[in-house]
Amino acid sequence: MPVTRFAPSPNGPLHLGHALSAVVSHDLAGPDGTFLLRIEDIDGDRSRADLATTFRADLAWLGLRWREVPAQSTRIAAYRAAADRLRGLGLLYSCACTRSEIAASATIIGAEGPVYPGTCRDRPPDPALPAAWRLDVPAALRITGPLTWHDALAGEQQARPQLLGDVVLVRKDPSTPASYHLAATLDDAADGVTLVTRGADLFAATHIHRLLQALLDLPVPRWHHHALLAEPDGRKLAKRRGSPALADLRLAGEDGRALARSLRDGRFPAGLHLTRSVGCYP
Ligand code: GLU
């Protein structure tokens, strides 16, 4: 039976794109599967505790039913243990580079912006500077060899973690020790997720997640990267561009179940349409 999940970050309100994502994930679990809710609240100051309550009210308003698993902020020990294991394999190196240094030194623009050029890979760390820990992707691939993964819409994929490069797995900020890549990969395994459903904008991230699964002996789920709702100008929907918050629609008395039905049927509010042309979706 499929186990799917919706994993919102409580950094801002849910909008119509999130509603689509939650409905897709809920429906793919089907009547016999399990649809999980996981609050991804390890973004330090950006995470707002009150928003998790709002998210639950939004999902109920859409007519969805779910089982909630522990929020990421309760799982820090597991993230630390996994990072220690990767460090023990010699696959993490510390990096004190700033964003602007990376932007200035990168020669490849990858799936998620400038690809870190590996500046600190062979450099002795400066203990005086706050440092993140990065995954040595070439060394990791030498251990795992070639890997594949399966997306329900795009088919069989060769894992190409090089598209993202040596990503950060442990952030500089000690209050948010794990990056999204490490935390989400560990959580999906711990939660028994069998079908990872999320937007096509996270397609490239899966190359890294597949590598982490191989390194950490985690089960390998299948993936379903759904098309995203886009604005009339083709850009991904975003609250900051005026997409209404679900909570506002709910409080204005709109019918959430009717909204969920229209998303299922592909009937979208004015000018919005589906797109897959995001990031490096094939
Ligand atoms: N927490 C992520 C977000 O809100 C979703 C991550 C995922 O689905 O893997 O964008």
Atom 6 (ligand 1): residue with closest C-alpha? 7
Pocket test for ligand 1, best of 176, 202, 213 (most atoms within 8 A of CB): 202
Closest ligand 1 atom number to CA of residue 198: 8
For tokens 């998210």, the residue is 55
Using the mean position of ligand 1's atoms as its centre, give its distance from the Cα of residue 216 in Å: 21
CATH topology of domain 3-74+227-275: Rossmann fold (3.40.50)
Compute the average pLDDT of residues 197-204: 94
CA distance 149 to 68: 27
Q: Kindly state the percentage of the chain with pLDDT values over 70.
A: 97
Q: Are 212 and 159 in contact (CB under 8 A)?
A: no
Q: Strand pairing of 34-37 and 3-6?
A: parallel
**What pLDDT shows up at residue 119?**
92
Residue type, position 83, single letter? A
For residue 211, pLDDT beyond 90: yes
CA distance 189 to 51: 25
Compute the average pLDDT of residues 248-273: 94
Fold matches, 3-74+227-275 and 76-170 = yes
**What pLDDT shows up at residue 109?**
81
Band of pLDDT at residue 94, cut at 50, 70 and 90: very high
Q: Quote the mean pLDDT of the chain.
A: 93
For residue 238, pLDDT beyond 80: no
The residue ranges of every structural domain in the chain are 3-74+227-275, 76-170
* Residues contacting residue 176 through CB under 8 Å, at least 6 positions apart: 42, 43, 44
Triad 95, 96, 99: Cα angle to 5°: 105
Least confident of 70-74, 106-110, 156-160, 169-173: 106-110
**What pLDDT shows up at residue 61?**
98
Compute the average pLDDT of residues 86-105: 93
Band of pLDDT at residue 280, cut at 50, 70 and 90: low
**What pLDDT shows up at residue 112?**
76
For residue 105, pLDDT beyond 90: no
Compute the average pLDDT of residues 236-261: 90
CA 40 from chain centre, in angstroms, equals 9
For residue 279, pLDDT beyond 70: no
Class level of CATH domain 76-170:
alpha beta
Using the mean position of ligand 1's atoms as its centre, give its distance from the Cα of residue 199 in Å: 8
Number of helical (H) and strand (E) elements in the chain, helices listed first: 9, 14
Least confident of 47-51, 59-63, 106-110, 130-134: 106-110
Compute the average pLDDT of residues 70-74: 97
Using the mean position of ligand 1's atoms as its centre, give its distance from the Cα of residue 181 in Å: 10
Instruction: Spell out which residues line ligand 1, taking CB within 6 angstroms.
Output: 7-9, 40, 184, 198, 202
Task: Note the pTM of the prediction, 2 decimals.
Answer: 0.95
Using the mean position of ligand 1's atoms as its centre, give its distance from the Cα of residue 201 in Å: 10
Tens digit of each residue's pLDDT (9 = 90 or more) over 12-31: 999 999 999 999 999 999 99
Closest ligand 1 atom number to CA of residue 184: 9
For residue 103, pLDDT beyond 90: no
CA distance 69 to 187: 9
